[in-house]
């Protein structure tokens, strides 16, 4: 790694003054050096190969014995740094009630406690919080004293300076100095494990495996079959991937360069190659962000690279105050933890069912999850109910009236409709729904009056209903 330049020293001083430790500072310097070097990060189509067949979880289940004893050597981390601002939330997204009055975090905690009780093994569990989510999350966890001290369940994400787009120096914003900082992306998990001392602590306790996933993806439970397969595989890093569908065509995909797996995101694709990038028959798999790592391999890679994993830079162009479009332009330098697949020799991927990828990114996702299209199992997993075509309903809600959670709650004051037998639901205009509404097949609801109207109780099957 190059020597720290005078240009970077002001960033280092600012980060040290804020309490940042060596490993996160070195990781940010790597990103900043990439920015200064003009590294585009582009991955042309002619430099990669497509992925053929992959091992499949559905075929693995039942072919080898699950090994619950591996839980004693496993750590489970949930990424919990997001606020869900795109849905109008102002606190940890994981504290949003998602089903039967329970939050994401309720379900996650109850899954962990179930595994501990069922197998008599104290599975290690940690939340990777941000400075925006830590306080509320720790307070919430006080309601589960059997889980342990909230302070012992936290890995704190770093924060890094926003870069002034004009001069590539730390931006200054006196009206709100906190807006001079941003999260560095979930690739920060690697240097944060070093700087927190947790990686060495877990290795010292005999831990071998790490499972990381997003807190807003209730499909990402700790699956003993996947853990057992990963342990047997001897791979240092394994990514759960799912089959791309037309709705995934603009998102990133898995590829190969020689013997090495890699991820290619849309920002890394030259414009001329976009048709190939979006060809889901050619590039068939996407990252679910459910990752499995062998802790010794991670330690060795971190030691080799001075405490961080050299993943590609993601450069996001913003304004220093997101609510003020005329505020100074900034660059937010971020990294993604899944991109580390290219940094481990002999890394692997496992094809999993779509049920292990059910994130809530929009209020449409939230409506589906709250409905009877999903059910809660004994082990507190939230799984898709028996749908007619084996897929969850495709829901499209009018963003003018349903984009924010408060708006959705207002339209559902009479309860959540039945979507168990629904394939598609499209709502245009302000339509109030309720528990007395039952949808079958493909239903289109239209209200062009501009005034919120209630859909009359009853069953609706393969129809368009105008109010």
What string of DSSP letters covers 25-67? HHHHHHHHHHHHTT------GGG-B------BHHHHTTTS---
Q: Rounded distance, CA 127 to CA 121, Å?
A: 19
347-369 as b/e: b if 16+ CB within 10 A: bbbbbbeebbbbbbebbbbbbbb
Catalytic site residue from 142, 361, 377, 391: 361
| Relative orientation angle of helices 134-141 and 104-119, to the nearest 10 degrees | 50
Tally of CB atoms within 10 A around 207: 18
The answer to whether residues 324 and 179 touch, using CB atoms and an 8 Å cutoff, is no
The β-bridge relationship of strands 237-243 and 348-351 is parallel
C-alpha distance from residue 322 to each of 93, 248, 257, 336 (Å):
19, 27, 37, 22
Q: Tell me if residue 21 is catalytic.
A: no
Residues noted as catalytic: 361
């Amino acid at each position: 790694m190059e020597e720290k330049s005078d240009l970077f020293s002001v960033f280092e001083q600012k980060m040290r003054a804020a309490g940042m430790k060596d490993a996160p500072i070195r990781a940010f310097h790597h990103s900043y050096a990439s920015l200064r070097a003009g590294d585009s990060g582009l991955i042309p189509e002619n430099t990669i190969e497509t992925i053929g067949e992959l091992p499949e979880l559905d075929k693995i289940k039942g072919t080898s014995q699950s090994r619950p004893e591996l839980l004693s050597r496993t750590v489970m981390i949930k990424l919990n740094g997001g606020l869900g601002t795109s849905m109008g939330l102002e606190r940890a997204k994981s504290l949003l009630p998602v089903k039967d009055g329970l939050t994401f975090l309720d379900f996650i905690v109850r899954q962990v406690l179930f595994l501990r009780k069922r197998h008599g093994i104290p599975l290690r569990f940690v939340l990777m919080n941000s400075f925006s989510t830590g306080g509320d999350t720790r307070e919430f966890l006080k309601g589960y004293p059997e889980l342990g001290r909230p302070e012992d369940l936290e890995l704190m994400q770093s924060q890094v300076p926003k870069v002034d787009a004009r001069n590539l120096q730390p931006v200054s914003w006196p009206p709100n100095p906190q807006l001079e900082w941003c999260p560095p992306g979930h690739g920060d998990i690697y240097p944060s494990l070093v700087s927190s001392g947790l990686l060495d602590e877990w290795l010292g306790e005999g831990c071998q495996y790490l499972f990381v996933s997003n807190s807003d993806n209730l499909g990402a439970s700790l699956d003993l079959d996947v853990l057992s397969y990963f342990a047997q595989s001897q791979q240092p890093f394994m990514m759960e991937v799912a089959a791309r569908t037309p709705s995934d065509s603009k998102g990133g995909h898995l590829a190969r360069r020689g013997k090495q797996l890699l991820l290619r995101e849309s920002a890394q694709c030259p414009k001329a190659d976009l048709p190939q990038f979006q060809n889901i028959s050619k590039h068939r798999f996407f990252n679910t962000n459910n990752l499995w790592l062998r802790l010794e391999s991670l330690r060795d890679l971190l030691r080799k690279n001075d405490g961080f994993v050299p993943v590609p830079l993601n450069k996001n162009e913003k304004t220093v105050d997101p609510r003020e479009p005329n505020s100074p332009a900034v660059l937010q330098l971020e990294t993604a933890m899944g991109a580390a697949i290219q940094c481990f020799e002999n890394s692997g991927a496992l094809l999993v069912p779509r049920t292990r990828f059910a994130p809530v990114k929009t209020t449409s996702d939230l409506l589906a999850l709250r409905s009877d299209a999903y059910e809660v199992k004994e082990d507190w997993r939230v799984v898709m109910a028996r749908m007619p075509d084996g897929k969850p309903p495709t829901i499209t809600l009018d963003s003018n009236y349903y984009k924010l959670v408060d708006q959705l709650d207002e339209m559902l004051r009479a309860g959540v409709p039945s979507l168990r037998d629904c394939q598609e639901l499209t709502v245009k205009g302000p339509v109030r729904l309720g528990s007395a509404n039952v949808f079958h097949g493909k239903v289109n609801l239209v209200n062009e009056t501009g005034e919120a109207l209630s859909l009359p109780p009853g069953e609706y099957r393969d129809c368009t209903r105008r109010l």
